[in-house]
Structure 1
Amino acid sequence: MQSKPTTIKEIARILNISPSSVSRGLHDHPSIGAVTREKIKQLAKSLNYEPNKAAILFQKGKTYTIGVILPELSEHFFSIAISAIEDEAMKKNYTVIFAQSHDRYELEVKLVEKMKNQRVDGLLVSISKHTCNFDHFEKVNSFNIPVVFFDRIPPLKNVHYVASGLESATVKAVNYLLKKGHRSIGMINGPGTLYASEERKDGYKQAITFNRLKFDPSLVINCDLTEQGTIDAAEKFLKHKRKPTAIVAFNDYVALFLIKHFKKMNVIDDFDIVSYANLPIISYLDHAPVASVEQYPYLQGQKAVNILLDLIHSPNTENQAYYNTIVDADLIVNETNY
């Protein structure tokens, strides 16, 4: 059996002609006679010759490949976004390379470098929770590789991004709890390095002050989004002088950690919990969040990849306006709680 793919040079050697003549013959160039063209094509077919697509694309200056770097591919939100990215990329004949940072800044930096070395045409990124330096993305831009951020976006002005309207969604969430009669509402927020944490806090503060209540910063606790970090935040609320009766959790995973701990402490019935992401599983829980913010990951992924493809095919990006797209989020009330 033939162990290596047939090359143009091999066809040229057998026919005793130049490799350039073989290439032109395979592409029906008029400079190659009809008889020679036919010999070239027949021999190529008999040897199972296939064009080296990588070399062809390299000559064109494009690889028709985009890179995607996410914190965790296993998270439901990102798995839905991945489906959208793949669907849209497939329509434009693009291949997608996925990588996960596992929420580690150092790994994210390495992955960006690897994507650059793979000569991807563009990058889609949801940053790690520890990322506060963005030099690695500036470096990629200097190689004319456009970057579009989505969901977790950096707190920078001159970037392309697609994100959920978290501030307005948080206003809806807190207003919902206030209408239920809660007057002491806590928030388990994410790390301060995440722009999304600031958006949640701003929405929380806006809803509290609009309803003529005093904003208490001690009721907003940042955590690292781990189970232990959530437990530590929960314990602070249980010991707080203004012990809250409702809690807004950073996402459904934090809410699940919170519910697990409160059940263990036998205080689960003392709290209403609102979260973000609207995972399908929450509707099956005995003590589910009373509501969750739907952030539409498929739509975010769809918009992000289409913006990236537009940037890749833009003839001149020097004066390109920055795409700043916000996807409206909705508060979904969990009817099983009533």
Structure 2
Amino acid sequence: MTTIKAIARQLKVSPSTVSRALQDNPRIGQKTRDAVRELAAQLHYTPSQTARNLRSGKTSVFAMVLPEIRENFFSEVVNGVEELAFQHHYSVALYQSHDSYEREQQILSMLTRNQVDGVMLSVAKESQQFGHIQHLIDRGVPLVLFDRIPPHINTHQVGCDMEKGAYDATKWLSGQGFRRIALLNGPYPLVASEDRYRGYIRALIEEKLPVENALVKRVDLTTDDTSRKMTQLIESAHRPDAVLAFNDYVALDAMQVCRRQGLRINEDISFVSFANLPLTAYMDQSPLASVEQHPYQIGHKAVEILLSLNDPSSGASADDFQRVVLNPQLVVRLP
């Protein structure tokens, strides 16, 4: 690998002269600058990114911490992040918490020690204490929370209005004639679960539909727990005629339970969900509608914020927190 010292030896000049010439420093004569650039091109010289980082105090690396890359929603967020980051010559380091609070702590602790130019985080479902997140902020690391955003953390945020998404979905079900609408919600610690609950309840009240605790079930987002809670809904004295599910994965697991019980999907019991997974377009029986959360745009906007925080000319302040809330879209799949 060609170095500045190697170029300097061949031209019989100092390494500092070569370095300045490569930066087109006017202190170096034009003839010398031309000779240095010509030889550097012949020898396929590539500047050391490590050296650049040491001079600038930057790494050109953004870190991204998310629960599970295998979930289509998060993989689409990654696509949005990588697209814009690479356009601006940033690398993206990807970490998965696997929804573990302990693992999330370890990752953020490592990122605090190892310099990166910014972190994007969607919290694990096990996380109920957030001191490790505040510690990262206190160390001056630019942080953007996305999708799963814990309360009372003052930093930049990008998400989708899940309360409105649940409200729109419940109102739509009511407009289709459904009267007993259940909610298969996510676990309690997730703010996204509370947002869905508020939107669901608000729509029920407006539509003068029954608000019953028995129609609301919280699941830990596993297949087994979803199966148990859906079975409870089916076997209740007053079975719901429609279910609003936390996401398409929960809806698909719940629909399997209905099939095993001999129920006809979207006839005996119907489903609406969140995430708008592409695979549902290939299913004979998919949820009647799904709330599009715009994951690609979420990733894109998170990188926009980090880029502005790393660009002194942007005027962006680390303490002037941006809160971006995208508008959800109910995608109806009725035949």
Instruction: Establish whether TM, by shorter chain, passes 0.5.
Output: yes
User: What amino acid does structure 2 have at the position aligned with 1:303?
Assistant: K
Partner of 1:62: 58
Deviations 1:52-111 (A, max 9, x none): 122112211212221111212222222222222122222322222222222222222222
Distance in 2 separating the partners of 1:272 and 1:209? 20
Which one of 230, 244, 247 corresponds to residue 226 of structure 2?
230
Partner of 1:333: 332
Distance in 2 separating the partners of 1:132 and 1:23? 51
Partner of 1:284: 282
Q: How far is the alpha carbon of 1:28 from its aligned partner?
A: 4.7
Asked if residue 252 in structure 1 is aligned to residue 251 in structure 2, the reply is: no
Partner of 2:131: 135
Q: 1:192 to 1:11 in 2, by over 3 A?
A: same
Q: How does 1:108-119 map to 2 (within 5 A)?
A: 108-119=104-115
Distance in 2 separating the partners of 1:96 and 1:240? 48
Gaps of 5+ in 2: none
* Matched residues, number: 332
Partner of 2:195: 199
Partner of 2:322: 323
Partner of 1:160: 156
- Conserved in 1, the CA contact under 8 Å of 2:126 and 2:189? yes
**SS of structure 2 residue aligned to 1:80:** helix
Distance in 2 separating the partners of 1:101 and 1:8? 41
Q: How far is the alpha carbon of 1:33 from its aligned partner?
A: 5.9
Q: 1:44 to 1:268 in 2, by over 3 A?
A: same
- Conserved in 1, the CA contact under 8 Å of 2:22 and 2:36? yes
Q: How far is the alpha carbon of 1:279 from its aligned partner?
A: 1.0
Q: How far is the alpha carbon of 1:190 from its aligned partner?
A: 0.6
Distance in 2 separating the partners of 1:169 and 1:30? 58
Distance in 2 separating the partners of 1:19 and 1:278? 57
Task: Report the RMSD for the aligned CA atoms in angstroms.
Answer: 2.5
Distance in 2 separating the partners of 1:325 and 1:34? 49
Identity of aligned pairs, percent? 38
Partner of 1:297: 295
Q: 1:39 to 1:310 in 2, by over 3 A?
A: closer
Distance in 1 separating the partners of 2:281 and 2:32? 69
User: What amino acid does structure 1 have at the position aligned with 2:87?
Assistant: K
TM-score (norm. length: structure 2): 0.89
- Conserved in 2, the CA contact under 8 Å of 1:255 and 1:273? yes
**Greater CA drift, 248-257 or 84-93:** 84-93
Q: How far is the alpha carbon of 1:39 from its aligned partner?
A: 6.6
**SS of structure 2 residue aligned to 1:96:** strand
TM-score (norm. length: structure 1): 0.88
Q: How far is the alpha carbon of 1:298 from its aligned partner?
A: 1.7
**Greater CA drift, 129-138 or 254-263:** 129-138
- Conserved in 1, the CA contact under 8 Å of 2:148 and 2:192? yes
User: What amino acid does structure 1 have at the position aligned with 2:69?
Assistant: L
Partner of 1:275: 273
- Conserved in 1, the CA contact under 8 Å of 2:149 and 2:191? yes
**SS of structure 2 residue aligned to 1:289:** coil
Gaps of 5+ in 1: none
**SS of structure 2 residue aligned to 1:153:** coil
Distance in 2 separating the partners of 1:34 and 1:283? 62
User: What amino acid does structure 2 have at the position aligned with 1:101?
Assistant: S
Distance in 2 separating the partners of 1:32 and 1:91? 32
Distance in 2 separating the partners of 1:29 and 1:16? 18
Which one of 165, 182, 206 corresponds to residue 186 of structure 1?
182
Which one of 169, 178, 192 corresponds to residue 165 of structure 2?
169
Q: How far is the alpha carbon of 1:128 from its aligned partner?
A: 1.4
Asked if residue 77 in structure 1 is aligned to residue 73 in structure 2, the reply is: yes
Distance in 1 separating the partners of 2:320 and 2:24? 42
Q: 1:37 to 1:232 in 2, by over 3 A?
A: same
Which one of 63, 80, 91 corresponds to residue 95 of structure 1?
91
Deviations 1:240-270 (A, max 9, x none): 2332111111000011111112112212342
Q: How far is the alpha carbon of 1:180 from its aligned partner?
A: 2.5
